[in-house]
Amino acid sequence: QITLKESGPTLVKPTQTLTLTCTFSGFSLTSDEVGVGWIRQPPGKALEWLVVIYWNDDKRYSPSLRSRLTVTKDTSKNQVVLTMTNVDPVDTATYYCAHSSRAGYDALTGHRYVFDIWGQGTMVTVSS
Amino acid sequence: DIQMTQSPSTLSASVGDRVTITCRASQSLRTWLAWFQQIPGKAPKLLIYKTSTLGSGVPSRFSGSGSGTEFTLTISSLQPDDFATYYCLQYNSIWTFGQGTKVEFK
Over residues A102-115, the pLDDT tens digits come to: 988 888 878 899 99
**Straight-line distance from the first to the last Cα atom of chain A, in angstroms, rounded to the nearest whole number:** 40
Q: Which residue of B has its CA nearest to A109?
A: B92
Q: What is the 3-state secondary structure (H, E, C) of chain B?
A: CCCEEEECCEEEECCCCCEEEEEEECCCCCCCEEEEEECCCCCCEEEEECCCEECCCCCCCEEEEEECCEEEEEECCCCHHHCCEEEEEECCCCCEECCCEEEEEC
pLDDT at A33 over 90: no
Q: Is B41 on the interface with A (CB under 8 A)?
A: no
How many percent of chain B have pLDDT more than 70?
A: 100
Please tell me the number of Cα atoms within 13 Å of A31 on its side-chain side. 4
Assess whether the previous peptide bond of A89 is cis (omega < 30° from 0): no
Task: Average the pLDDT over A68-75 and give the result.
Answer: 97
Secondary structure letter of residue A2 according to DSSP: -
What is residue A61's predicted lDDT score, i.e. its pLDDT? 97
What is residue B85's predicted lDDT score, i.e. its pLDDT? 98
What is residue A23's predicted lDDT score, i.e. its pLDDT? 98
B87: nearest CB among A47, A62, A117: A47
List all residues of chain A from 14 to 43 with a beta carbon under 8 Å from chain B: 37, 39
